[in-house]
Amino acid sequence: MTALLLVSDFNLGTLGRYLQNMSTERVVHPVVAPYGQVTQTLLSNPTEKIDTAVVWTRPEAVLPTFSDALALKPVDHRQVILEVEAFADLVLQFAQRVPAVFVVAWTLPSSALDYGMLDYRPGLGLTNLLAQANLTLAERLARAPSVFILNPERWIREAGSNAFSAKLWAAAKSPFGNSVYQTAALAISFSLDGLEGRSRRLIVLDCDNTLWGGVVGEVGWQGVRLGGHDHVGEAFQSFQRGLKALQSRGIQLAVLSKNDEATALDVFDNHSEMILRRNDLAGWRIDWRDKGMNLVELVDELNIGLASVVFIDDMPAERGRISEAFPSVLVPDWPTDPTHYAEALAKLGCFETPTLTTEDRQRSRMYVAERERSVALASASSIADWLRTLGLKVEAAAIGPDSISRATQLLNKTNQLNLSTRRLSEKEFSEWAEAKGHRAWTFRVADRFGDAGLTGLVSVALDGKAAKIVDFVMSCRVMGRGVEKAMLSVAIQHARNAGAEEIVAQYLRTERNGPTLEMMEGSGLDQAEPGLFRWDARKDYAAPEFIDLRAN
Amino acid sequence: MNAATIENSVFDTIREFNRQQPPNQQIGFEPESVLLGDGGVLDSLGVINLIVAIEQNLRTSMGAQVDLLSEAVGDSGAEKLASIGALAREIHRQLGIET
């Protein structure tokens, strides 16, 4: 259950209803603050436990000078900006009392009169003033990592001519039509998923008539419709450009296709109009087997949960098969006309993340490196030999401003290799790490095939001569290479240096962190009782000799 | 524009509107499904949202202009818009459509 406080100068009751009755797994308990009492609400403590707040206001209601500007009176735009800064400071204060805040960017009312061709003119136009106000708000609120600005333009665009309703405003003090609130509710739900590390991370795609037009098995790679002077071919290319753009922000792409593998891969390798290439794919299953079975194998290979998957296929029967077998997979209805594919992709909105790290952007390259690593393992005489040939480097660094975002993301998204499965906001984790006796490190892992990035996290709490490993989190991508022992060695060395005599790690079981128990059982620490691991900190704990460990 | 196209527009609106309602408070599609008055499940915001959405959809999908909200809040609103069937009759009356 997510308790969501809705703060507004207008009636947000309809948004609350959509949030409460969405047909998603998320259960939202909306708490609608009395409308018109924005300042009072932002200045006071919430009367019940709130997980996230949504602040959606009209600029003319919270910026007095903007109200004059809307009446086309001459106003000093600098005064409006000062009022924006004051409002932003109010939100920043409020953000210290709730875990996260979504602020909806301002829009002009549908009935606004403006200066026509002069409306973008600095110092005069309303459009210019609104853009400046929103930019100032964004810059000011960027000071708080738990505050996010949601852009309502898409909600309004999708609602078309039903976006605004003068009658609803007159009768219920609700400026927007129902469909704006409906789209907003979905966007807020996806943003909440993002905060909790539950956003979609993998798009699984069909090939024929999904990535290109036609059946490659029949027409060959030269004959598929893609690009060229053909509106259908152009449409498939636009769709691929959208996919490539999502990949650039860390969303992985994979292929599930009923085809001959070599024939389908020929298109990726040889067709000059392909935007996506073989190395853009995190993985694929191209054969004649059932797509459900193949999907299970694929997500297993990529260490991604089914709840992170979006499945796109032009065939309704295949979509039905996947959505029935795996309800947690997002299977969007897909247009029959390829010219609508790119738009359908843009409307998905399920890829929200509170941060975007370098690791996110490079994730695709990491999957390719993993494939190359697997090939090397297959040709090695033993795992020990293979580990020695990898040239593993592990770099430990105390958590700081440059790594807190990625560290929090790792803490909240990792399920399988997670000792205690603590879920904290960036602010909460940062405060915890700075508390007396607490210490947290991030670990970057690289080998000769590539840089896996920031893939490990350990935190320790010291209390006199006792030390406790509170978090031990590792990405599955670096599992099975001795990295966990290098991480433990850093934590144990810290405890030794601080004079601790014993360090313990308590494994807290969840539905998905079974691999953590196996890993801890193989770590060399004593299991004093089920799930409780101990190490005599007076003894050294060495990292594997084949790892070049550097601790900053 | 005829009675059937109007009915389609109204049903589309109700289908969309029901997404903001809990499962046990959704509006039915039968002529006798209650809208206002005894046995109704909508509160005042729900009534306004539904009525305005019906008006808006009729206007944008077929250019038909009706004013149902004034009827809903008027003295005989509970009677004129008591059910889906009554709502349809009121729309037909305002648009001068014979059924």
Residue A250 gets which letter from DSSP?
T
Interface touch B19/A165, C-beta < 8 Å: no
Q: If DSSP states are collapsed to H, E and C, what string results for A336-389?
A: CCHHHHHHHHHHCCCCCCCCCCHHHHHHHHHHHHHHHHHHHHHHCCCHHHHHHH
Q: How far is CA B58 from CA A106, A188, A279, in A?
A: 29, 29, 51
Interface touch B17/A178, C-beta < 8 Å: yes
Distance from CA of A163 to the nearest CA of B (A): 10
Amino acid in position B45: L
Q: How far apart are CA B91 and CA B81, in angstroms?
A: 10
The string of pLDDT tens digits covering residues A167-222 is 999 999 999 999 999 999 999 999 998 888 888 999 999 999 999 999 999 899 99
User: Which residue, among A217, A209, A206, A213, has the nearest Cα to A230 in the 3D structure?
Assistant: A213
Q: How far is CA A411 from CA A442, A531, A549, in A?
A: 11, 20, 22
State residue A184's pLDDT score.
Answer: 96
Distance from CA of B21 to the nearest CA of A (A): 6
Least CB–CB distance from A161: residue in B17, B45, B60: B60
State residue B77's pLDDT score.
Answer: 64
The string of pLDDT tens digits covering residues B21-43 is 998 889 988 888 888 877 888 88
Segment A510-531 shows an average pLDDT of 92
Contacts of A192 (CB under 8 A, 6+ apart): A2, A4, A26, A28, A51, A52
User: Which residue, among A13, A166, A31, has the nearest Cα to B46 in the 3D structure?
Assistant: A13
Q: How far apart are CA A533 and CA A521, in angstroms?
A: 8
Q: How far apart are CA B54 and CA B11, in angstroms?
A: 9
State residue A25's pLDDT score.
Answer: 73
How many CB atoms are located within 10 Å of the residue A289 CB?
12
Which chain A positions have a beta carbon within 8 Å of B23's beta carbon?
21
> What ipTM does the predicted assembly reach?
0.89
Q: What are phi and psi of A459, to 5 degrees?
A: -130, 145
Sheet with A100-104, side-by-side order of all strands: A28-32, A2-8, A52-56, A100-104, A147-150
pLDDT at A54 over 70: yes
The string of pLDDT tens digits covering residues A382-417 is 777 888 888 899 999 999 888 898 899 889 888 889
pLDDT at B49 over 90: yes
Q: In chain B, which residues touch A (CB < 8 A)? A: 16-17, 19-23, 45-46, 48-49, 52-53, 55-57, 60, 69
Residue B67 gets which letter from DSSP?
-
Q: What predicted TM-score, i.e. pTM, was given to this entire model?
A: 0.76
The string of pLDDT tens digits covering residues A462-500 is 998 999 999 999 988 788 889 999 999 999 999 999 999
Distance from CA of B38 to the nearest CA of A (A): 22
Q: In chain A, which residues touch B (CB < 8 A)? A: 11, 13-14, 17-18, 20-23, 160-162, 165, 167-168, 171-172, 174, 177-179, 181-182
Best mutation target, A178, A183, A186, A189, to test chain B (most B CBs within 10 A): A178
Q: What's the first-to-final CA gap in chain A, in angstroms?
A: 41
Question: How does the average pLDDT of chain A come out, rounded?
Answer: 92
Interface touch B56/A182, C-beta < 8 Å: no
| H/E run at residue A28 | strand A28-32
Q: How far apart are CA B10 and CA B20, in angstroms?
A: 16
pLDDT at A226 over 70: yes
How many CB atoms are located within 10 Å of the residue A275 CB?
19
List the single residue in B with minimal CA-CA distance to A170. B48
Interface touch B69/A177, C-beta < 8 Å: no
Distance from CA of A71 to the nearest CA of B (A): 27
Which chain A positions have a beta carbon within 8 Å of B12's beta carbon?
none
Segment B53-65 shows an average pLDDT of 92
